[in-house]
Amino acid sequence: MNRGTRFQYTFYYPEPAPSDAAGKTLSRANPPSAIHPIHASISRLDHEAMDLLTIPPSTAITAHSQFAKYLSRTKNTICGRHPIGVLLGALSDLEKNNGIKPELSWVRYEQSSQCHSIRDSSVSYASAYVRF
**Long-range pairs for 110-116: beta carbons < 8 A, 24 or more residues apart:** 111/39, 111/42, 111/43, 113/39, 114/37, 114/39, 115/3, 115/4, 115/37, 115/38, 115/39, 115/42, 116/37, 116/38, 116/39
Which runs of E-coded beta strand occur in 1-132? 2-3, 11-12, 24-25, 103-111, 122-131
- Give residue-wise pLDDT tens across range 28-85: 889 998 889 999 999 999 999 999 999 999 999 999 999 999 999 999 989 899 999 9
- Give residue-wise pLDDT tens across range 79-130: 899 999 999 999 999 999 999 999 999 999 999 999 999 889 999 999 999 9
Q: Name the residue ranges covered by the structural domains of the chain.
A: 33-131
Name the pairing type of β-strands 11-12 and 122-131: unpaired
Stated as kind and residue range, the H or E segment containing 88 is: helix 81-98
Residues 6+ apart with CB under 8 A from 99: none
